[in-house]
């Protein structure tokens, strides 16, 4: 459990999210375009982190359904930014199983007509960090 708390602290640190600020209004989830695909909704990410249930989050399908469009980040009235939290949890999963990140070059090669632009923008956004 202690490692869990450490991990959560790291997640909070890399995401910059303070889950206590959340007022549970649900606007993040309401803004989410991947809503139907997600098993754990964006607002639940915040409360799961708040009460320390990291396992559920790390196993969540939602990590790979999030488009990273950051609508939730933009629209959150309390500046909680759940999108960053999802990102941070995904990051943690990736770190645990070893890096599979892409370089800018690799991404450039992937650009075809079929790839949604949104995905590319997100990929860049994340890679910038």
Partner 1 sequence: MPRIGVFVCHCGTNIAGTIDVAKVAEMAAAEQGVVFSKDYQYMCSQTGQTLIIDAIKEYKLTGIVVCSCSPRMHETTFRNAAQRAGLNPYMVEIANIREQCSWIHKDREEATEKAVILMRAAVAKVCLNTPLTAGESGVTKRALVIGGGIAGIQTALDISAAGFKVDIVEKTPSIGGRMSQLDKTFPTLDCSACILTPKMVEAASDENITLYTYSEVEKVSGFVGNFKVDIRKKARSVRADKCTGCGVCQEKCPSKKAPSEFNRGLNNRSAIYTPFAQAIPNVPVIDRENCIKFQTGKCGVCSKVCQANAIDYEQEDEMITVEYGAIVVATGFDVINLDKYDEYAYSKSKDVITSLELERIMNAAGPTGGHLERLSDGKAPKEIVFIQCVGSRCADERGKSYCSKICCMYTAKQAMLIRDKYPDTNVTVFYIDIRTPGKNFDEFYRRAVEDYNVHYIKGQVGKVLPESSGKLIVVGSDIIDARHVIIPADMVVLAAAIEPNKDARKIATMLTASIDNNNFLTEAHAKLRPVESPTAGIFLSGVCQGPRDIPETVAMAGSAAAKVIGLLSKDRLKSNPCTAHSDELMCNGCSTCEKVCPYGAISYETKIVNDHGVKKERRVAVVNAALCQGCGACTVACPSGAMDLSGFSNRQIIAEVDAVCR
Contact positions toward partner 1, by CB under 8 A?
18, 20-21, 23-24, 43-44, 47-48, 51
Strand, coil or helix: what is 5? helix
Which of 7/18 has CB closer to partner 1? 18
Which of 5/20 has CB closer to partner 1? 20
Nearest-approach distance from CB 121 to partner 1, in angstroms: 31
**For 47, phi and psi rounded to 5 degrees?**
-75, -30
Distance CA 72, CA 74 (A): 5
Which of 46/73 has CB closer to partner 1? 46
Instruction: Tell the burial category of 48 from Cβ atoms under 10 Å away from its Cβ (0-12, 13-18, 19+).
Output: buried
Nearest-approach distance from CB 26 to partner 1, in angstroms: 8
Nearest-approach distance from CB 21 to partner 1, in angstroms: 6
In the numeric block, which tokens belong to residue 49? 């982190």
């Amino acid at each position: 459990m202690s490692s869990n708390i450490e991990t959560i602290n790291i997640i909070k640190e890399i995401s910059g999210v303070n889950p206590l600020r959340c007022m549970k209004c649900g606007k993040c989830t309401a803004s989410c375009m991947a809503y139907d695909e997600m098993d754990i909704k964006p607002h639940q990410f915040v409360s799961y982190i708040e009460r320390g249930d990291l396992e559920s989050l790390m196993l969540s399908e939602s990590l790979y359904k999030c488009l990273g469009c950051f609508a939730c980040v933009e629209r959150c009235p309390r500046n909680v930014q759940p999108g960053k939290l999802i990102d941070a949890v995904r990051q943690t999963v990736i770190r645990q199983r070893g890096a599979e990140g892409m370089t800018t070059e690799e991404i450039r090669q992937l650009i075809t007509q079929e790839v949604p632009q949104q995905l590319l923008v997100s990929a860049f956004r994340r890679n910038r960090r």
